[in-house]
Amino acid sequence: MISQQSNLPLGVSRFILEDLSEAHLQQQLNVITTNYGPVGAFIHLHPIFISYNHNPVAYFPEEKAIVKQIFLMAKHLKKFLNQAANINGRSYFCTIARLDGAFGLEQKINFGAIGAGLFGLSKSMTWEWPRVFCRAIDISPDINAEDTASYIFAELHDPNRYLTEVAYGPQGRLTLIA
């Protein structure tokens, strides 16, 4: 679905889903757990989907399929991530969307709207998996790869487990306050 893949450092394994069936996802997770052990962290870096045709809301079929896969991943990672949290004290479920760096509220970029659903998933996981560290991050598409990586790393080590949504954009780090 995504024609371009990021380069990975030497020694980092890549697992590609050849199809989007739940059976294939389960098979790949079995390969991973058999060869590397139980999963203790899941980080999804969502591709950038921007509409250039000036529609106020953009819907991409590829984005819908990816988000559906992440929901299926959550379903099948539940056991592993909860076990890892019980054993290690912390496990991770983290989704990173590239909306606008302000939770989609700036209305300056016509981003793919479906990816914003990852925030709802991460918030739900916080309540359903209380021992797993769950965080949804919106990073502006204008932020370079090095800064993106450092922001993700900082969020994974944030001690505040009550915060489930964070954004990074030109104005810095943002959170929502009720």
10-residue averages of pLDDT along the chain (178 residues): 71 81 91 91 87 70 90 94 93 94 82 87 94 96 94 95 93 89
- Specify if 170 maps to a domain: yes
Digit-coded pLDDT (tens) for 100-121: 898 988 877 777 788 889 999 9
Residue 115 near residue 69 (C-beta atoms within 8 A): no
- Domain with 66, as residue range(s), is 40-174
What pLDDT does 1 receive?
Answer: 57
What pLDDT does 160 receive?
Answer: 92
- Specify if 7 maps to a domain: no
- Specify if 166 maps to a domain: yes
Identify the CATH number of the domain in which residue 160 sits.
3.40.50.720
In the chain, how many domains are there? 1
- Specify if 126 maps to a domain: yes
Dist. CA 119–CA 45, nearest whole Å:
13
- Specify if 118 maps to a domain: yes
What pLDDT does 2 receive?
Answer: 60
Q: CA-CA distances (angstroms) from residue 14 to 25, 134, 138, 144?
A: 14, 23, 24, 22
- Specify if 25 maps to a domain: no
- Specify if 137 maps to a domain: yes
Report residue 68 CA to chain centroid gap.
Answer: 12
Dist. CA 113–CA 152, nearest whole Å:
21
Residue 137 near residue 94 (C-beta atoms within 8 A): yes
- Specify if 26 maps to a domain: no
